[in-house]
Structure 1
């Protein structure tokens, strides 16, 4: 899911994988692997990509994952 969302956001910003990689400071191959769902990004990489795309890290998460995180944090409060 992260890969699909990353690709959508990158295309929305009209960036190539190479351009996004340069802005985010990650190898272009990392973006390719994430977008093709061959690799899950680390939190550090997700933060870099989110910053480069001008979005919050939550943008990469699907609604189910966001709900799980929200519900989990409410239980701990």
Structure 2
């Protein structure tokens, strides 16, 4: 499992470097809505970089997974399930 708040793989303890930007923007103390909005802004930034052709490989990987990550924070119910 991935801890998006810390950008680590909880099974190995290894940092997942391409998720660092996610962990910089969300925290367990934030509401689901605040996390979702923060990740939506990140998505917009990544889309702009992608459109400009300046998105690096880690950014592309994050861009491809961000929809799934955002779904975890779509509602308080999903966030609560994830936080357990």
- TM-score bucket of the superposed structures, by smaller chain: under 0.3
Q: TM-score, normalised by structure 2?
A: 0.26
Higher normalized strand content (fraction of residues)? 2
Select the structure with the greater relative contact order (CA < 8 A; seq sep ≥ 6). 1
Give the TM-score normalised by structure 1. Answer: 0.27
